[in-house]
Structure 1
């Protein structure tokens, strides 16, 4: 229901950026970055190319927004856990579990990760966007949790950043396996089960 007196066109205009980003996620995941045209995204979103340009001036701007939207919920959840003082193991299990569910339930997200890996050699700006938008914030949050845990005596000595990379590594392996090897007949991998089993192992090894 619209609020009283709220014109329908105003609600529609407010929804338009989200519709464009949802369409762009589908098109990028299906076609790759280089082959994606803004007119294809506009058509999928049901808007004109001119309307798309009102919100995103370039394809790179659109891709940056897509990455931020696709992974933003996971980062926000982990940030909330870190800010709330949740114990390290509980925060990591919740944060990594949410990421695993996202990757398992939305093949478009893993498709975008694949295109970053495949196309960033020729288009390094894609790797820069992913690095700035996802990797730096995520590793920073987990590294901070580990450093705090070490100060409390909950985690054994070691490089916090390397610990953080070890925690996240199987997520990347799961995506690579699903996007590269499953299409040619490899046995599927359960990303959520992979994450849970890995955390049981790695968190046990990080305790004093």
Structure 2
């Protein structure tokens, strides 16, 4: 029976696997991602406090019960959103470190540019803005973002920096200081793009800012290698 022709001239065995998958099942599998995509828009428009599960469901085109089927609370929606949008970028950066050989300064520059451009020019900037804007009223989302994203980013940059110090490429700064030198301007660029750039008549090139930051930081660290700093 697998050699029987179907109406388009292909055999049953030649039919792509997804053609045999019921439409409702494919739709069901896609729903968590659709809910998270809708949730980001709702969070940005209404804030974490103003967003309701009903709003997220409406934006996703599903019932509120469907949202609760995948996410038991608004906090759970936010946490899943962060994991889906941010974690894959950090995974990529860690893979770059694991496979790197040779001088560390080019690696640091590449990681800052890769992560920085992602943070400053994609929805990651909106997530960062949401966390900063709501941290005072909802410290739990700030704590989650700090532990899941910032801490992992600090560990990643700290790992690179230690390699640079051991190789004589970077000055022996405290790692917690060096990591903030790398991460801080990226967050500022993301906030500038989402907060001030929309109301500024002058164009804002976030990519150019990130690349300049990466170049200046790595060049400055290289120039200070082996020197005593205050």
TM-score by length of 2: 0.82
Rg larger for: 2
Runs of 4+ in 1 over 6 A off after TM superposition: none
Gaps spanning 5+ residues in structure 1: where? none
Q: Which residue of 2 aligns with 1:95?
A: 111
1:110-169 CA-partner distances (Å, limit 9, x unpaired): 232222112211111121121022101111111011112222222221112211110111
The number of aligned residues is: 207
CA RMSD of aligned residues (A): 2.0
Asked if 2 retains the 8 angstrom alpha-carbon contact of 1:77 and 1:95, the reply is no
- CA distance in 2 between counterparts of 1:98 and 1:162 reads 21
Written as runs of structure 1 = structure 2, the 5 A alignment for 1:9-20 is 9-20=24-35
Which residue, 168, 171, 181 being the options, matches 2:186? 171
Q: Which residue of 2 aligns with 1:141?
A: 156
Say whether 1:75 aligns with 2:84: no
Q: Which residue of 2 aligns with 1:47?
A: 62
Q: Which residue of 2 aligns with 1:30?
A: 45
Question: Once structures 1 and 2 are overlaid, which stretch shifts more, 176-185 or 19-28?
Answer: 176-185
Shift of 1:4: 5.6
Asked if 2 retains the 8 angstrom alpha-carbon contact of 1:116 and 1:130, the reply is yes
Say whether 1:159 aligns with 2:174: yes
Shift of 1:73: 2.4
Which residue, 187, 196, 206 being the options, matches 1:191? 206
Gaps spanning 5+ residues in structure 2: where? 1-15, 226-230
